[in-house]
Structure 1
Amino acid sequence: MAYASHIQGARHGFFGRVDAVVKSFAEARAQRRVYRQTLNELRDLTSRDLADLGIARSEIPFIAREAAYGKA
């Protein structure tokens, strides 16, 4: 028979809200990091490389946003 040695319930109240805010902040930071990295990498490509990929320079911010935040 198996026994649980440590059970942690859902956090309620103030600390639960603080925990949710911290997690939300961390997720937003990770998404911004993906956005910036994608944006910088695509901007560093030459016009010829972008043309080979079928990407116009004006599309770069939209592609980076989709990569970081998903389709709207």
Structure 2
Amino acid sequence: MANVSVISGTDLGLAERIGAFLRNLQDARGRYKVYRQTVKELNALSDRDLYDLGISRASINAIATEAAYGQ
């Protein structure tokens, strides 16, 4: 997922652009951590537990993507 920030009418300096880049990188790492943790936790469940939750193993990645990225 790529984040693009557009600020019209303002010319950002190098320090602001680096700061924005680092914030976006930190946000991306945080979202990926949520994705990996969700996949890990769902994969640890038994097939019966997943069935009780209405989740198939094939949909784990899609559920983790939704949890982390909202897509």
Aligned-pair CA distance for 1:30: 0.2
Q: CA deviation at 1:61?
A: 0.3
Give 1:35 deviation, angstroms.
0.2
- Aligned with 2:28: secondary structure? helix
Q: 1:61 matched to which residue of 2?
A: 61
> Is residue 42 of structure 2 the alignment partner of residue 37 of structure 1?
no
Matched residues, percent identical?
48
Which protein is bigger by CA-based radius of gyration? Answer: 1
Structure 1 residues without counterparts, runs of 5 or longer: 1-11
Distance 2:39 2:62 in 1: 9
User: What is the CA RMSD across the aligned residues, in angstroms?
Assistant: 1.5
The number of residue pairs the alignment matches comes to 62
CA distance in 1, matches of 2:61, 2:44: 13
CA shift for structure 1 position 70: 0.3
TM-score normalized with structure 2 length: 0.83
